[in-house]
Chain A
Amino acid sequence: MTSARRKSYGVKGAPYAFLLPATILFALFFALPIGYAVWLSLHKVQVKGLGLGAGARKEVWAGLENYTDSLTDSQLLDGAVRVLGYGAIVVPVMLGLALLFALMLDTDRVRLAPVTRLAIFLPYAIPGVVAAMLWGFLYLPDVSPFYFVLDKLGMPQPDLLDGGPLYFALSNIAVWGGTGFNMIVIYTALQSIPAEVYEAAKLDGATPLQIAIRIKIPMVAPSLVLTFFFSIIATLQVFSEPTTLKPLTNSVSTTWSPLMKVYQDAFGKGDIYSAAATAVIIAFVTLVLSFGFLRAANSRNKQEAAQ
């Protein structure tokens, strides 16, 4: 064996060897579970007779049956509509507030900026389930201090855990928890805008408001796109807030959001096959929606750049 031969082998093999750990981890913890979910979604259980005793249950091929069942299931559709309504409140309010706070923190005259920034960001550090429980207690008329105050003032006491207000109650939890994170992303982008841009604007006689609208917002557009992208995904996957509020009210059903339906099918009804099919559908919709949005945003950027 000559050393030259060995050397050439080493050079050729090195990239693959470097790739190996990542590839193995990717296959084991990403590709394989997804593949298994798809495999499950194409199967179902078939029972014989009374279904008692050994060999009464068999796993059989189901084709696309689980998918058609899932897509024609009114519960899933209702859940999707509910989540759309929830997202229509959460995304604009949360991003609007995040942008507003970021712009305000970025002005020259702001005082105590680090403390304020931390205060707005802090709710993001609280786990979603804990936040939902906290708010849930505040929404319950019999134990909430808000209702106590409203009662003393003789003001109307809305039922926040029912009907339309429920959407606001749920959205409020998400907005409270998510605004800080999005604000930091936008604020960081604002900080990276070179100072001479502002100087030029000021020389041209722009007011702080004009600078904010004409310069700052267009320049942080990529961050806005990014936060919007994250928010859409988070909205489509909403699970912990409604699940935590569920025991407190009759108004949140076990299939309130699409992911809750997946959970319910898999662990409530013990039907992992339908749950897998629904999960694949949700993943697909999330992928299409979020990447569709990214593409649309990118092509607009390109058009603008071309002009």
Chain B
Amino acid sequence: MPHTKLRRLVTISVAVTLGATALAACGSSDDNDSEADSGPVSLTYWSWTPGMDKVADLWNKGQGKKDRITVTVKKQASGDTLVTKILTAHKAKKAPDLVQAEYQALPTLVSNDALADIAGDVDGVKDKFADGVWQQTTLGSDAVYAIPQDSGPMMFYYRQDLFKKYGLEVPGTWDQFAETARALKKKSPETDLTTFSANDSGLFAGLAQQAGAKWWTTEGQKWKVGIDDAATQKVADFWGGLVKEGAIDNQPMYTPAWNKALNTGKQIAWVSAVWAPGTLTTAAPDTKGKWAMAPLPQWSQGESVTGSWGGSSTAVTTDSKHKSAAAKFAAWLNTDPAALTALAKEGGIYPAATTAQTSDAFTEPPAFFSNQKDFYTQAADIAKTTAPSAWGPNVNVAYTTFNDAFGSAAKNKSDFGAALKTMQGETVADLKKQGFEVAE
């Protein structure tokens, strides 16, 4: 009968339509519940730290049970990828309650109105952190946009055995560092002290920070970009000079070739941060126990300043319906001794909270550095000397320009100063394009 056929047809088309709508609606399911703060609250937390779910379990079974706040961790990709994801989710007003964000990403997130000011909910938390670390979460205002989680104070790593073999001294200043590189080239032309890598902007930013650079500052309602300032020029010229004369290598880090160079002693030092033991464990497994850590070389004798490379914070989003509850968890996660010990154990992070840096979790050196008993005592001392950093709303643009400009400068062994100018120019141009006022 025709009309039953028609009816079946209509049913099918409706089913297909509904199916299509359901497909289109995928990925936009609401994670927030709409209950008031007094009732049980459940929060979603985007983080890339391994083992974060176990740390959240500690909360859910302890403090969180008392306060009736449950936190669910959703594992995410790290760094910039997550920033993009948060911004996209925020566009749809569906960002999770809590997010992990690197310090340099905070201005970008705040500028997109994705992070909530939680100053009212985190009284007394400030004292747990070094000023240089805390200042990154306030962006120089009275607001608090995140709680510091981990930090990456920079250090100098070297092959103790090979330094002895080639008769090299651990450099205390950058001049001595250059001399060491040249001396090594003379003794063993095939060996490099280290490489200048253009594929991780964070390293260069940290080195500039140590030299006293302030890449983004504000003047009234205007941003001032100081990427091409005297301090950064000094750093760029120093590394550019070493690459040009062939005293160090110019190939990128984190490649199979780099791993091999570290593993076979073709490269015998690495300017890195406190998390380096983890990287070396996988990159150069055969060199266990042969490395040592020392403070970063200084620009002038007798100084002790370091930069930071990496490190992240926990932030509450503007889309969260339970900002106070979320802030409570963020504060607990990054200041409670039990939470910090769990973070260090499960996530392998170096906590930003100063008391945690000398806690029980850090009495033993990392397994890869078992020869250096006081690894974490030294690390805590170095962490105290971290120079303040100054991030702006388009760090991502400066960073990608760095990759290309310094990549080609390293390849051609050409002027690093020109690459720095490109970086400054592109960053300012992008700010202006977005409509920011820029002080010249």
A107 CB to nearest chain B CB (Å): 42
**In the complex, which range does the number of interface residues on chain B fall in?**
35 or more
Contact residue among B84, B393, B396, B411 (Cβ-Cβ distance under 8 Å from A162) = B411
Whether B112 lies near A57 (C-beta < 8 A) is yes
Mask, B183-225, CB within 8 Å of A = 1, is 0000000000000001100000000000000000010011100
**A20-B17, A142-B257, A250-B407 known; A47+B6 contact, CB < 8 A:** no
Which residue on chain A has the smallest CB distance to residue B318?
Answer: A54
A167 CB to nearest chain B CB (Å): 16
Give Cα A49 to B8, complex, Å: 60
Mask, A44-59, CB within 8 Å of B = 1, is 1111111111111100
Contact residue among B12, B260, B410 (Cβ-Cβ distance under 8 Å from A142) = B260
**In the complex, which range does the number of interface residues on chain A fall in?**
35 or more
Q: Which of B103-111, B232-240, B342-350 contacts A (4 or more CB under 8 A)?
A: B103-111
| Interface membership of A25, Cβ < 8 A | yes
Main secondary structure on chain B at its contact with chain A? helix
Give Cα A13 to B2, complex, Å: 12
Mask, B224-256, CB within 8 Å of A = 1, is 000000000000000000000000001110111
Whether A247 lies near B254 (C-beta < 8 A) is yes
| Interface membership of B162, Cβ < 8 A | no
In the bound complex, residues from chain A placing their C-beta under 8 Å from that of B256 are 137, 140, 142-143, 248
Whether B20 lies near A24 (C-beta < 8 A) is yes
Contact residue among B6, B396, B437 (Cβ-Cβ distance under 8 Å from A13) = B6
| Interface membership of A14, Cβ < 8 A | yes
Give Cα A267 to B411, complex, Å: 25
In the bound complex, residues from chain A placing their C-beta under 8 Å from that of B252 are 247-250
Whether B218 lies near A28 (C-beta < 8 A) is no
Contact residue among A3, A140, A253 (Cβ-Cβ distance under 8 Å from B257) = A140
Mask, B1-14, CB within 8 Å of A = 1, is 01101100110110
Q: Which of B59-67, B363-371, B397-405 contacts A (4 or more CB under 8 A)?
A: B397-405
Contact residue among B20, B107, B255, B408 (Cβ-Cβ distance under 8 Å from A25) = B20
Whether A268 lies near B400 (C-beta < 8 A) is yes
Give Cα A132 to B113, complex, Å: 39
Near A by CB (< 8 A), chain B positions 305-333 give 318
A6 CB to nearest chain B CB (Å): 6
B279 CB to nearest chain A CB (Å): 15
**A14-B9, A51-B393 known; A46+B223 contact, CB < 8 A:** no
Give Cα A10 to B6, complex, Å: 7
In the bound complex, residues from chain B placing their C-beta under 8 Å from that of A226 are none
Whether B434 lies near A46 (C-beta < 8 A) is yes
Residue among A17, A47, A140, A143 facing the most chain B CB atoms (10 A cut-off):
A47
Whether A21 lies near B407 (C-beta < 8 A) is no
Whether A250 lies near B257 (C-beta < 8 A) is no
In the bound complex, residues from chain A placing their C-beta under 8 Å from that of B12 are 21
Whether B6 lies near A24 (C-beta < 8 A) is no
Give Cα A28 to B22, complex, Å: 11
Whether A51 lies near B436 (C-beta < 8 A) is yes
Contact residue among B113, B257, B318 (Cβ-Cβ distance under 8 Å from A56) = B113
The 6 closest A-B pairs by CB, nearest first: A250-B411, A142-B257, A250-B407, A47-B435, A21-B16, A51-B111
> Can you list 7 pairs linking A and B with CB atoms under 8 Å apart?
A48-B435, A52-B110, A56-B113, A57-B113, A143-B257, A253-B404, A254-B400
Known pairs A47-B434, A53-B110; list 19 more (Cβ under 8 Å): A14-B9, A21-B12, A21-B20, A45-B435, A50-B222, A51-B111, A52-B393, A56-B111, A142-B256, A247-B255, A248-B252, A249-B251, A250-B410, A254-B400, A254-B403, A264-B400, A269-B397, A270-B84, A270-B396
